[in-house]
Structure 1
Amino acid sequence: MSALKWGQGRERSAAGPALFGLSLSFDHFVLPRMLRRPVRVLARLGVGEVQPPRFLMGVMSAVLLASSGVYGACLGGHADGIVQSITARTGFAVDQVKVVGNRQTSEIDILDRLELDGWTSLIGFDVEAARERISGLPWIEVAAVRKVYPHTLEVRVEERKAFALWQQGDKLSVIEQDGAVIAPFSGGKQVLLPLLIGTGAPAMAPDFLARMEKYPELASRVKGYVRVGERRWDLKLDNGITVKLPEDGEDQAIAELVGMDHDNGLLSRDIAAVDMRLSDRLVVQLTPEAATQREAALSEKPKSLKHKPETKI
């Protein structure tokens, strides 16, 4: 049997194997296979049969010092910094970042949330923490950060969908379809979004704007949808006319308005407002200039009738 067996025969010599002067003799004990060779070498070192290399003590001292340093760094919370420094200087420093999917979010803002310092190691970089920081940006709905070795970070984002602009007092914000505020208005292509004005407008706007799509010619002329008293809508047109819709029967009122404009060019006249709040009548308010001209025309009419010569029969 090739396994080491120590102390199985009590008739053997009492002096069994020893390691550095310590007896390794146990009754009926067999070492595991993986430990047999190292124990033999150590036993031979202990009895002086093997001469250790000259540099062994130096190596052991270096290992001891290195392990002590690593242990101290772990206790002090500096292990990550050491790993980052070593791996960054061995070819794993992040020197390229690919950003995909951003339209409203500045790439500079995304890079800022990555918190790269020029010597950041790809190996020690925490992608989950970076993802959470990027997700905190106003327009970001979903973010993913991926390592591409040896030195590239890939950032993919999905942004929130803008539905309209919402004005409350002097505050103008971009909102989603459910009314959630995304970010303050910053210009650019955001000016093409529908403008909602007043308290309660975001909650009622999705359904109302969907119905307005049935009348694209009118919808294209609307510059602002004003929610009045959280009960009804006013339409602010591009030529300054205000259309006051009723609280009930909005669809019928809009259809009648479109019909009158098509037949008589109502919304192209010199008027300031069209009041449709009463179901049995339509009230048209003239602009100040049109009202002045009308009064002048009415005042001239009696004079022309007074000086008109009589016709004899």
Structure 2
Amino acid sequence: MALARRSAGREHNGDLRIGVAIATANRPEVVRETVGLIARQSRKPDAILVCSPGEEDVVGLKEFHPDVVHIIGPRGLPHQRNRLIEAAGDFDLLLFLDDDFIMADKYLGEVEEVFREHPDIVLTTGRVVADGIIGPGISFEEARRRLSLPTAWSIARLADVYNGYGCNMAIRLETVRTNALKFDEELPLYAWLEDVDFSRSLAPFGRLVRTERAYGVHLGVKSGRQPGVRLGYSQIANPCYLIAKGTCSWRKGLHHIGRNFAANLYGTCRGERSVDRPGRLLGNLKAIMDLFTQRLAPSRALRL
């Protein structure tokens, strides 16, 4: 069933105009099913925008969901998300979703309420009740089952955070437009920590919060992801780049580097199969060598 798009030009009677923005590549079946599940939202989005490098990345999407706005953009998450911001026009809010993030049915309604009641908030991120990225992944069926379970709420509805989690992150577009903020296109491909960089660019202009009652499941689909060696390189190069840029603290950056290196070393030694730990570890080591030879740069991941 196609999701009807509400007109951006109508009177909203206090409602905010919300776009859902999805960058995708190489996973047409996944993005098609994810978009279909957005129809279950109690508060429908005003538009769904999908950006991909080519038509082959979204085969069947228009047939099943003709109201989706499809945009072609250069391959790479920052490039694609910047195109999505441009396409959002005069919307009030833009919710970035990974193509494998499944929202609970009241997610958008909660996000709208939080932004409307708290004009000082410029970014929200939801609570991830299950994250397949750290294991073998989660199926659509399992995600729907988990979202159907009773949920125990935290006492605090909102919690201030250092950064949003890029798989589900909503922004106040007026703040982004006024300050000409963009995702950093120097971060290639999957753009490890692009969410930290963009969040900290927004931080001087308002609050960044996690809203407990906007929650969902990140499937962590393995197909279509970059090779382990490239991701491993980015796990070292990108934090170093952001530290130098000033959008990531030394403590936060070193925590990311140490945690991922340790996970890749441990996973390689124990023969973990769900994640390419040997490839990531090799990428880590190549980046460390480049650091010592002063050649380290996020773009060098493209040569691996």
TM-score, with normalisation over the residues of structure 2?
A: 0.21
Q: Which has the larger radius of gyration?
A: 1
TM-score, with normalisation over the residues of structure 1?
A: 0.21
- Tell which has more relative contact order, 1 or 2 (C-alpha 8 A, sep 6+): 2
